[in-house]
């Protein structure tokens, strides 16, 4: 299975929605841990990268620039 590509600033959907009801999260920090912020209530959570990658469902909106993707 292909590894999902994500980067800083992307809006992603996790397998389970946030308790506030929103299912959109924004990636605001990347490293060994990934900090995601709920788009609905602005609550942020620090998640280990391995757990984040297993709980990620899909990337809804990518922050990639079109000219970077073609290079």
Per-residue pLDDT tens digits of the chain, which is 71 residues long: 567 788 999 999 999 999 999 989 999 999 999 999 999 999 999 999 999 999 999 999 887 665 554 44
Count of Cβ atoms closer than 10 Å to residue 18 Cβ: 18
Within 13 Å and on the Cβ side, how many CA atoms surround 61?
A: 8
Number of domains in the chain: 1
CB 12 within 8 A of CB 58: yes
* Full residue range of the structural domain in which residue 44 is found: 10-61
CA distance 36 to 8: 10
Tell me if 37 is assigned to some domain: yes
pLDDT at 52: 93
Tell me if 50 is assigned to some domain: yes
Tell me if 35 is assigned to some domain: yes
Q: What is the pTM of this model?
A: 0.79
């Amino acid at each position: 299975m292909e590894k999902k590509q994500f980067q800083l600033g992307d809006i992603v959907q996790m397998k389970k929605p946030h308790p506030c009801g929103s299912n959109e999260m924004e990636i605001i920090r990347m490293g060994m841990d990934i900090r995601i912020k709920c788009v609905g209530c602005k609550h942020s959570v620090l998640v280990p990268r391995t757990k984040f990658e297993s709980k990620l469902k899909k990337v809804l909106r990518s922050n990639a620039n079109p000219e970077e993707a073609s290079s």
